[in-house]
Amino acid sequence: MALSVGDKAPVFTLKNSDGEDIRLEDFIGKKHVVLLFFPLAFSSVCTDELCHVRDNIKKYESLNAEVLGISVDSFFALKAFKKEQDLNFHLLSDFNKEVSKSYGALYDDFYGMVGVSKRSAFVIDKNGLISYAEVLEKASEVPDFDKVQAALS
């Protein structure tokens, strides 16, 4: 199901790279949330995308936003990826693919792999409503970060 601007964001609880539960509801009423779904840790475009966010995290913090990266990788793989790339925001494991599916961000077939997250960006405002949604069909493309930041302003 495709989500649109103004829709209520589906809530979730996922494990971060340390195996701790992170709940979307914990940020509602306090911060904006940027959800970045990405296909697979350690792939070149995903690495470039998330390192770009890492290098610009101060901008997101200045806009009172929490960035959460989500993939179907295990939290063990995400822990290694986060450490290798020195990422300074949460990476969440959607290993069971439920959150990616609820956001309409799941490939049926990704190079023969079933159920891989589509590269996507969602901005969720403090009220829990989607204020920006971008789901990319081509994994080689990255979200429009200028539009993501504009949605946070």
Active site residues: 46
Can you tell me the distance from the alpha carbon of 92 to that of 27, in angstroms, rounded to the nearest whole number? 15
CB 11 within 8 Å of CB 144: no
Residue 124 near residue 35 (C-beta atoms within 8 A): yes
Measure the CA–CA gap between 50 and 142, rounded to whole angstroms.
Answer: 10
Task: State which amino acid sits at residue 68.
Answer: L
Dihedrals phi, psi of 26, to nearest 5 degrees: -70, -20
